[in-house]
A and B are shown apart, each in its own frame.
Chain A
């Protein structure tokens, strides 16, 4: 930002210097072109705005989505323990891994805070460990910020050992625009537009590991959870 300002200042100084030094007189034609150029820029900008990449947008959620997210947040772990992590609306499977394994014992290393690890035995014996990361949306002031804070979980697999690596804490920056100031007062009357409720909902997540039926977990960590097939 500061760099940009300095660049702008330098450009301005150079222009003034050039005009002064070279004695370039600003004629009406120059001003006319400046005016026309700026007007075209202004007129084109509403259309140019629609060409911007949509990946950078953080969507606004509605009340229904918010309450869904709240429920999902609460029930993700329960439904995962019942073996159906994606049965709750608002839960997304964000990442998947598949690791082929040999042998009958798997070690799971690494306890990450706020990341329960749920293990399910598959019915088949295909020798493949399937891992999936489920999460519910993170919402701040009705803005879905899930995409911007993906909480990266890295898995490494070697010689029948699955290591869960602690996510690196990082920040996320958001930009929000206030409504068009002069039109605001009038348009508020036309279509009431309340202030967004200040909600802070941190998404819950679960690492769900499916292992072949004949594979056992070696030295299970007390934090590991196992699917309770007998549940209702």
Chain B
């Protein structure tokens, strides 16, 4: 007679994580495309202004890697929503899984993708400089912010990763809400916000939103910033986890 297996949650989560990481290689590949897209956007939306100095016309073009960052943040959000869609979420339940292992492996997956996306975004800033050098061959390059110090790169990657993780967790929560069929629950806060803004309290609401984003974005200590972002991300993910804990596997 066959003995009954006693699965360890940790082993199952590890197996699911490895399986999904391998299966969703397309997600990683899309990250490359998004990285290149961000660089292209940064180059084409560079701001430019001119000054005349006597008979000489000076033009100064500013290139910022913000487009790279925000396009990647959007990517993290979309990917997280995608992760909650049926085809992606049923994948775990083809083999051994329960909600806990499913959500845990998704969390590790999101963290991995966020770190990769953050690193890509930070290094994308360097690639952007390199590409700009060749795209604008007639321009002189102001020798400021050209070389990013290793510390700057590491901090940039860490901060970007946190942005990605936050965007990913928000996307995951939104996706789980939608999967749970509570589109209403998703829209209610948005509507409430919109009504509050229309109803005259616009500035107060804006200030409220800013104080929430400012709580994380305007942190000046790296350690505190990481702690705050991780805490917020964990909170959002925990909510998504609680929401989806009783979800049935439809597989239809």
Contacts and interface: CB of A to CB of B under 8 A. Distances in A.
B189 interface: no
A17 interface: no
A45 B159 CA distance: 20
Most buried by A among B32, B122, B225: B32
A192 B72 CA distance: 28
B146 A140 contact: no
A174 B127 contact: no
A141 B54 CA distance: 16
Most buried by A among B55, B147, B218: B55
A108 B241 CA distance: 87
Contact of B123 (A43, A181, A185, A202): A43
A1 B142 contact: no
Interface in A15-40: 28, 31-32, 34-35, 38
B144 interface: yes
Contacts of A171: 56-59
Interface stretch (A68-76, A88-96, A143-151, A210-218): A143-151
A13 to B, nearest CB: 15
A172 B148 contact: no
A151 B135 CA distance: 26
Contacts of B40: 5, 8
A42 interface: yes
Most buried by B among A31, A38, A50, A196: A38
A35 B147 CA distance: 25
A59 to B, nearest CB: 5
A45 B126 contact: yes
A49 B146 contact: yes
Interface residues of A, number: 57
Interface stretch (B62-70, B92-100, B165-173, B179-187): B62-70
Contact of B155 (A138, A148, A177, A186): A186
A229 interface: no
Contact of A172 (B56, B145, B146, B220): B56
A171 to B, nearest CB: 4
Interface stretch (B22-30, B76-84, B202-210): B22-30
Contacts of A63: none
Contact of A186 (B54, B55, B220): B220
Contact of A42 (B58, B61, B69, B120): B120
Which of the four size classes fits the interface of chain B?
Answer: 35 or more
Contacts, number: 198
Contact of B136 (A147, A172, A175, A182): A175
Contacts of B54: 114, 169, 202
B153 A34 contact: no
Contacts of B25: 28, 31-32, 35
Contacts of A141: 60
Contacts of A172: 56-59, 140
A178 interface: yes
Contacts of A1: 43-44, 135-136
A162 interface: no
A5 B36 CA distance: 13
Interface string B28-52: 1100100110001001100000010
Contacts of B35: 38, 42
B159 to A, nearest CB: 4
B75 interface: no
A105 B129 CA distance: 56
Per CB-CB distance, the 3 closest pairs between chain A and chain B, nearest first, are A169-B55, A189-B220, A183-B156
Given A176-B141, A176-B142, 9 more contacts: A31-B25, A42-B123, A43-B123, A56-B133, A59-B143, A169-B56, A171-B57, A172-B59, A177-B142
Interface of B: 25-26, 28-29, 32, 35-36, 40, 43-44, 51, 53-66, 69, 119-127, 129-130, 132-133, 135-136, 138-148, 151-153, 155-156, 159-160, 163, 217-222, 225
Interface of A: 1, 4-5, 8, 28, 31-32, 34-35, 38, 41-43, 45-46, 48-50, 52, 56-60, 114, 138, 140-141, 143, 145, 147-149, 151, 169-183, 185-189, 196, 200, 202
